[in-house]
Amino acid sequence: MINPSGIVLGPNARLDVGGTTRGDFTATTLDAIVWPDRSRFDAVNPGGVAPLLRIVGNSSGFLASQRQITVDRSQLRVPNTQDL
């Protein structure tokens, strides 16, 4: 999930990344994802973007000044067989 304007999850929000195998989930306030060849996926100015499904990128696109991160009454849990 890429949203340069911020990401807000309400008090009863739940994110279950699962299925037959556990997947990955990344949420970021990046403005863009820039690849080593300098191509980019731009969430703010999407004209002429690189195709996301064919390129593995580096998360290196913070263009704007970043806002303060606020965490309020959060919990982080993983299955008993896993740790962080």
Each residue's pLDDT tens digit, 10-41 = 888 887 776 656 667 778 888 888 878 877 78
Whether the pTM exceeds 0.95: the reply is no
Q: Tell which residue, 61, 21, 7, has the closest CA to residue 39.
A: 61
DSSP state of 53: G
Task: Give the tens place of pLDDT for each residue, 55-76.
Answer: 455 555 555 566 676 777 777 7
Q: How confident is the model at residue 54 (pLDDT cuts 50, 70, 90)?
A: low
For position 58, what pLDDT does the model report? Answer: 53
CA distance 50 to 74: 35
**Exposure letters 31-70 (e unless 16+ CB within 10 A, then b):** bbbbeeeeebbbbeeeeeebeeeeeebeeebeeeeeeeee
